[in-house]
Amino acid sequence: MENFKEITISRKLNVSPEQAWKAWTDPKEIAQWWGPDGVTIPVCEIDLKVGGKLHIVMLAGKELGPMAGQRWPMQGIFKEVKNAEKIVFTNQAIDEVGTILIEGLTSVVFEKDGGGTKITVTTSAKGKVPQAPQMIAGMEMGWNQQLDKLVENIG
């Protein structure tokens, strides 16, 4: 199993770059689509500025069977913030006591595309604990589900 992975995924949204930006930067909007299928977001805190912090907690729903009720926190720091153009942030999957399980970097680019917006997400993950390769193995599927939820939520 891999202990490092980088993926790039794009989606076309039928909204303006400004609306797509809001979906990625407004905690209330993020809570509507972040996380793979079967996950809700009880905590979403964002300080949207270079050096600002990001903290999201994903909660596994009953649809996920034996994983139901598990909390999957993540944290990060914004490295680049260009309104309606690009955001870059570190990403760390952590456990409930703050131990870093996986760390990486995520970049989201917003490009006007006809009457909509093309978003391109490039994200990486490097494992820091023995169970990390199993978590990394599901990364691409999870991001695809998450971006599909974004498309369903905002267009």
Give the integer Cα–Cα distance in Å for 87 and 106: 8
Q: Please report which residue ranges of 37-105 form alpha helices under DSSP H.
A: none
**Over the stretch 99-137, which tens digit does the pLDDT of each residue have?**
999 999 999 999 999 999 999 999 999 999 999 999 999
Strand partners, 120: 10, 109
Which residue in 24, 82, 6 sits closest to 50, CA to CA? 82
- Rounded to the nearest 5°, which phi and psi values hold at 10? -120, 155
Give the integer Cα–Cα distance in Å for 101 and 62: 24
Place 96 in a pLDDT band, splitting at 50, 70 and 90. Answer: confident
Residue 155 has pLDDT above 80, yes or no: no
Name the DSSP class of 19.
H
Give the integer Cα–Cα distance in Å for 5 and 152: 27
What pTM, to 2 d.p., does this model score?
A: 0.95
Q: What mean pLDDT do residues 46-74 have?
A: 96
Helical (H) or strand (E) element with 25: helix 17-25
Tokens of 46: 């964002």
Architecture of domain 4-154: 2-Layer Sandwich (3.30)
